[in-house]
Chains A and B, each alone.
Chain A
Amino acid sequence: MSADPAPPRAGAPLDRRDFLRESAIGLGGIALSWRFERDARAQQAPSRLPSQAPSHGYSHFPPRARRVIQIFCAGGVSHLDTFDFKPELSRRHGSELTSKGENKGFFGQPGRLMQSPYRFAQHGGCGTFVSSLLPGIAGVVDDLCVVRSMVGRSNNHTPATFQMNSGFALNGFPCMGAWLSYGLGAHGEDLPTFVVLPDPRGMPAGGSINWTAGFLPAQHQGVPLVPGSAAPIHDLSTPAEVPARARAAGRIFRDRLDRMLEARVEGEAGLEARIRSYELAARMQISVPEAVDIDGESASTQCLYGIDRPESAGFGRNCLLARRLLERGVRFVQLWNGGAFGSPRINWDGHENLRENHDAQAATMDRPVAGLIRDLKQRGLLADTLVVWTTEFGRGPSTQGLDSSGRDHHPDAFTCFLAGGGSRAGHVHGSTDEVGYFVAEDPVTIPDFHATLLHLLGIDHQRLTFHHNGTARRLTDVHGEVVTGLLA
């Protein structure tokens, strides 16, 4: 790492039309950037030029993916009961697990090895193993790049979740979507760049920390969108008591005041940006309700996403909405499957009874995710849309405590998958040991994972930086290597 946190601008910029389109919000990006970018860069000497936005509209090399959907299954999905088939667990079911060193569980009550309650079978042309828990996803397995060798840092939900989202196990670091918004700008200008769709059952633990822009400028933060409410985005709608005519007249007068000010204070770049921001806000008031209205989607499409079934309707709607948002120019959608920790459980945290828990969660997630991948593919979007299916950690091969049927947290090995966007379809990367405790081959750390995602988006993870508190900060901190095995 050099001392010069220069903006990531090497390599060929996108073609000019892309550049213009992608930097349009760059209003936010370019015209306004002077205010904060000057602090984003280490000034070696008084500059003669206004600082330029570091990266809007630029990639380091041609991207394979132009947009991202991150699905986050909160609570910790068991790799051993989904993608990581371990016959040895059946053979040693009920026996004690030894020789793995310190127990990594959160509650520290190792029980006995437990076989998966699900049947595993090979699926698709690629023959990837998927358990009977996920029949829908098993059906699209030829589009998936399954990473069975993920390694996390923490066995504790929130730090592990933060690490998956931001690279750091602490509060307040910018999340992936924010980094992409900062690095690539927006496709369109009528919608936010980074949209968050919380699980309809509730917010995840840590709430907005999971989509914060951290120390990046506020325009890059995730914008939570709650479909079905009066204002899907906070303060989006003009309140009913304000008549439309009055609002229109007020807006015209507002712009007049700014224009008169502009005439008096010649040369202020900030004013033009403020005027533009009101124009964009007005456009957002029209484009957001249109984007979230899924009624126009055909019954077969809705069915594809599981919207016809009560258990998967809520998350299915969000998956369908995610596709609509991407089609309308959103760069990054973060889709939550699972809310905070409590009783009854509304996430994948199967401490007590793994089967009961995972059955209930998979019923909400499996069809919608499979439907989303099929739909993206049939619309030709999957080629340059990266779907990233994540969770914070896996679950241990032993029961949590004796006479139990649950599994505790397990950060040393777990599974995530990619689909589309230049990822290697029908592929399985890495493997774990005989009981899925440690990674046996090709470990992928979370910084490696992030570096690879950025690579698919045309970004060199070492060159997407922001100077904050003495360091040129990166999504990947000082780690991360692109895992070429995941690339098509």
Chain B
Amino acid sequence: MGERSRWSANKVFTGRLAVLLLAGGDDHWSLQPIERPALPQLERSQWPRNPVDWFVLAQLKAAGLDPGPEADRPALIRRLTFDLTGLPPTPEEIDAFVADPDPDSYEHQVDRLLASPHFGERFGRMWLDVARFTESQGFEYDKLRERAWHYRDWVVASINADLPYDRFMMLQVAGDVLEPVAREGLVAAALLVCGPWDEAGNGQANETQKAITRQDELEDLIGTVCQAFLGMTVHCARCHDHKFDPIPQTDYYRMQSVFAGVRHGERALATAAEIDVREARLAEIARRQALLEGELAVLDARGRTRVLERRAPIGQPTVNAPVPRSRWRFEGDLSDEIGSLHGRLEGSARLERGRLLVDGSESHVITAPLKVDVREKTLEAWVALETLDQGGGAAISLETGDGQVFDAIVFGERQARKWIAGSNGFERTRDLDAAGEDRGPGELVQMAAVYRADGVIQLYRNGQLYGESWTPSSAPIDFRAGNAHLLFGMRHRGGANAFLRGEIEEASLYDRALTDDEVSQSFEASGFAMSETERVAALTPAEQIERSRLLTAIVEVRAERDGMPALELGYVGRREQPVPTALLMRGDVKSPGEVVTPGALSCVNVPFGDFPIAADAPEADRRRAFAFWLADPHNPLPARVIMNRLWQWHFGRGLVSTSSDLGRSASRPTHPELLDWLACELHERGWSLKSLHRTIVTSATYRQSSVCERRSLATDADNLLLWRFAPRRLEAEMVRDAILKVSGALDERIGGPSFRPFEALPFPANTYRPLDLDLPGFRRRSIYRMNVNSGKEPLLDVFDCPDPAIRTPVRGSTTTPLQALAMMNDPFVLREAERFANRVLDETDGGLPAAIDRAWRCALGRAPLETEAEEALVLAREHGLRLVTWTLFNATEFIDVR
């Protein structure tokens, strides 16, 4: 049963003490302490196999009904295998079970399947529905989340390892701050951010609208935590006290205070200690590297100077290079060597080896304001990008004092690896038909943007035209003296993703539009374009030897740096210390009310449940306190909620049918004592869910046949009293997975990055066009499909696969003509039917009758009836076996479990 955590070692409070604790609490059933119910007093019966059955039997008897007979063994093993793994049993597995004389043979099968790695995939998928796990942002941009899958893998692995459920809950709200912090805790807490996120709304200029976006984000988070673990619709109290449940609006904002420091985004999947060690090491390497590169830069500068000296007499430029109004060489300082627009380092920007180094995290240089008005102009910079996989930063930008209007040379903002003349709202920006950048780290590129007085704009790269010129519809900007300045390494102030990662060797501002020739001359004259051979040849032999030594040493030190394993990133959310949370009157961001302290549900009576922490408590303390409150065995909700879910996952319907809502407006439990008995057992068994799964599926209730008995049907058509096992259709992913399993094509690898059955059409918003790809990586189980918001997978969609961004405690189960069309015509189904036909032919080599027999066993878990076999044979002879296998995929028996 695994190690019991400290907080689960306590016994459940029962009896008088709990009643006293509850004084003043609410009388709604789900908020009452969990008391172990007595087993119903019934006449002797052979039917019950465990206490579950006594509770079920009592209610059947009260209604004058009898339980149904046990299902036959082939049906039982097919049901159990689908139920516990999401996949059909193989014919061999069925045969082995049917032939096993051991009286405990069914229990052996249960244990085998509970130990299967596919068990976690099956119930993990259901948890991901509750967690609204998505791998794209949703909203306008709907960008892919490349590294969200770690959470999915953690869920699957935790379920497989039977992580105690209290720990399962705690890690998902505070895993990154619960000692001992480990990678799994960081990943588990991704629950808080694995839903949709509005990047456009967060990046926009209007503060009120931005605040509303953030409030929506927190409602999604709080709604998810409270529905998933507590079965309470706390988010209903965002604007007013809950209408049905005893949840005052203060509770909502106290919980908001708990989670107010949680932000969307990626973070390194490493502990703070691991990161510190690594950074110290990196800093040491960087120091050595800087030393070596500095020496190399001195030598190279010497070579360059000698070449230029030879080309022309000292003091005269080699070619007629245009003279800028201002130029920054970054040789040890930020002075403007021609004008007086001296610069200032901001953030972590620094000068090294005669270059300005910017690292993409708010580092940049800002200059003094313009001394003269500038309209017609040329911006020029020599820049080496640290990586080509960046976007939005600028080498050089001229912006107004308030940062609202700017012209800039921007890299990768709208299209990967392309340069553009960036501008406010893209007003003077065009995407250019030019080659993507290919210069590697450290390699300089000259970029220039010419803005003519008549409005024409032209970009240049290394002295050559970069794309065509264009004339934007708006007039050129007058940048006024005193109210404009330059930025290096930043696009403009106030913009998202505005920072460059790289090195700037030199930058110039011309107060006129250079001609094509002049840009080219500037490129030639700089010397940066000089070939390495030429530069090296100008060095003395001793200098050349020294240079070789330095180069070798630099290669070594770089290798040492690159050899350090990169920190793995995951979409697990970022953290910040939030300001104290104020209640918002009517939920209106412009009407803040009283400041609240972090807290949880006031209607749940947990001793010391009122967190003794202040409104400005450290972020981590808040979630830690909440985690302990959540898993406190006096909190009656989590055990009831999860046991009800377990029941639903096995029977298709919960004892409470609204499984994320156990509040007053929810359904009443059909078997309240049974629910409490299960919840009680969960506490007693150290929160082991696997143990409870076992209890449920070994019950006589679960083993009933699905036969529809007329009298019972007349009394209880919905089978609320469980007089049979209600047949149900496979869930969307199970339909697809079963087809792959049966055709023999299923790739059963567990975990890792998701496969992507779509074409992503990026820029500026992602949309997705579904693709049917018959490639190995695409034949994995559907839980490993990258589940994006704005592009639905057609086959899964018609079978009620929910939008990923919606919390889905109960899936729909419809029957529609679109499902029939998908099963009839989808290329995937046809292809796998063909594969299935070939598979059974290969496996039998006894001709068609044997192949047909095997096809039935693989797809339906039973031998064909005589008429079925005869008709199938006729069909196969005339049209091929693939028509028969296609028919099997389309048969109701294939997609139903009974």
Contact = CB atoms under 8 A, between A and B. Distances in A.
Interface of A: 1, 3, 5, 28, 32, 34-36, 38-39, 42-51, 102-109, 153-159, 169-172, 192, 202-203, 205-209, 212, 214-219, 221, 223, 231, 233-239, 241-243, 245-247, 249-251, 253-254, 256-258, 260-261, 265-268, 270-271, 273-275, 277-278, 280-281, 283-285, 340-343, 351-353, 356, 400-406, 467, 469-472
Most chain B CB within 10 A, of A5, A219, A400, is at A219
Contact of A406 (B427, B815, B886): B427
Interface string B806-834: 11111011111111111011110010000
Given A35-B813, A235-B794, A340-B767, A353 B473 contact: yes
Contacts of B728: 35
B233 A469 contact: yes
Contact of A254 (B494, B830, B887): B887
Given A158-B140, A217-B800, A257 B891 contact: yes
A159 B715 CA distance: 47
B98 interface: no
Contacts of A44: 667-668
A260 B864 CA distance: 11
A171 B879 contact: no
Contacts of B209: 104, 106, 154-156
A239 B425 contact: no
B474 interface: yes
Given A3-B244, A159-B213, A171-B806, 8 more contacts: A109-B425, A247-B824, A254-B891, A275-B892, A343-B426, A356-B473, A404-B474, A467-B658
A235 B826 contact: yes
Interface string B502-545: 00000000000000000000000000000000000000000000
Interface in B818-870: 818-822, 824-827, 830, 865, 867-868
Size bin of chain B's contact surface: 35 or more
A177 to B, nearest CB: 15
Contacts of A256: 871
A3 B668 contact: no
A206 B431 contact: no
B122 to A, nearest CB: 20
27 contacts: A28-B815, A42-B667, A106-B204, A108-B205, A154-B212, A158-B200, A169-B216, A205-B790, A209-B138, A215-B802, A234-B822, A241-B830, A242-B830, A250-B883, A254-B887, A260-B867, A266-B708, A270-B815, A273-B815, A278-B820, A278-B824, A278-B890, A281-B821, A343-B430, A351-B426, A404-B427, A470-B236
B789 interface: yes
Given A239-B825, A258-B891, A403-B475, A470 B233 contact: yes
B405 A342 contact: no
A196 B207 CA distance: 35
B720 interface: yes
Contacts of B227: 469-470
Contacts of B138: 171, 209
A170 B875 CA distance: 51
B198 interface: yes
A342 B797 CA distance: 28
Given A265-B706, A343-B431, A401-B405, A233 B821 contact: yes
Nearest to B669: A43
Contacts of A218: 797-800, 812, 814, 816
Contact of A35 (B244, B670, B814): B814
Interface string B418-459: 000000111100110000000000000000000000000000
Contacts of A209: 138, 789-790, 803, 805
Contacts of A401: 404-405, 424-425, 427
Contact of A207 (B196, B791, B821): B791
Contacts of B206: 102-106, 108, 155
A237 to B, nearest CB: 6
A219 B816 contact: yes
B547 interface: no
The 5 residue pairs across chains A and B that have the minimum distance between CB atoms: A108-B205, A470-B233, A207-B790, A267-B708, A470-B661
B228 to A, nearest CB: 11
Contacts of B887: 250, 253-254, 257
B142 interface: yes
A268 B710 CA distance: 11
- Residue from A39, A108, A351, A402 whose CB has the most chain B CB atoms within 10 Å: A39
Contacts of A47: 716-718, 720
B48 interface: no
Nearest to A161: B140
Nearest to B891: A257
B208 interface: yes
A62 to B, nearest CB: 29
Contacts of B830: 239, 241-242
Interface string B651-667: 00100011011011111
A206 B142 contact: yes
Contact of A46 (B475, B670, B815, B868): B670
A405 B473 CA distance: 8
Nearest to B664: A3
B200 A171 contact: no
B878 interface: yes
Contact of B817 (A154, A156, A277, A471): A277
A230 to B, nearest CB: 11
B455 to A, nearest CB: 11
Interface in B693-708: 706-708
A265 B405 contact: no
Q: Which of A275, A277, A405 has the most CB of B within 10 A?
A: A277
A156 B825 contact: no
Contacts of A217: 800, 812, 814
A401 B816 CA distance: 52
Contacts of B721: 46
B763 interface: yes
A156 B425 contact: no
A243 B898 CA distance: 34
B768 interface: yes
B665 A471 contact: yes
A387 B139 CA distance: 27
Nearest to A202: B767
Given A156-B204, A267-B708, A48 B715 contact: yes
Contacts of A207: 142, 767-768, 789-791
Contacts of A234: 794, 821-822
B566 to A, nearest CB: 32
Contacts of A159: 139, 198, 201, 213
B814 A271 contact: no
A169 B805 CA distance: 13
Interface in B461-516: 472-475, 477-478, 494
A469 B815 contact: no
Contacts of A274: 815, 892
A148 to B, nearest CB: 23
Interface in B142-192: 142
A39 to B, nearest CB: 5
B414 interface: yes
Given A280-B820, A281-B821, A351-B425, A43 B667 contact: yes
Contact of A249 (B763, B764, B800, B883): B883
A356 B664 CA distance: 56
A214 B800 contact: no
A236 B213 contact: no
B422 to A, nearest CB: 13
A5 B657 CA distance: 14
A156 B478 CA distance: 30
The CB with the most chain A CB atoms within 10 A, among B658, B706, B816, is that of B816
B558 interface: no
B207 A102 contact: yes
B812 A352 contact: no
Contacts of A48: 715-717
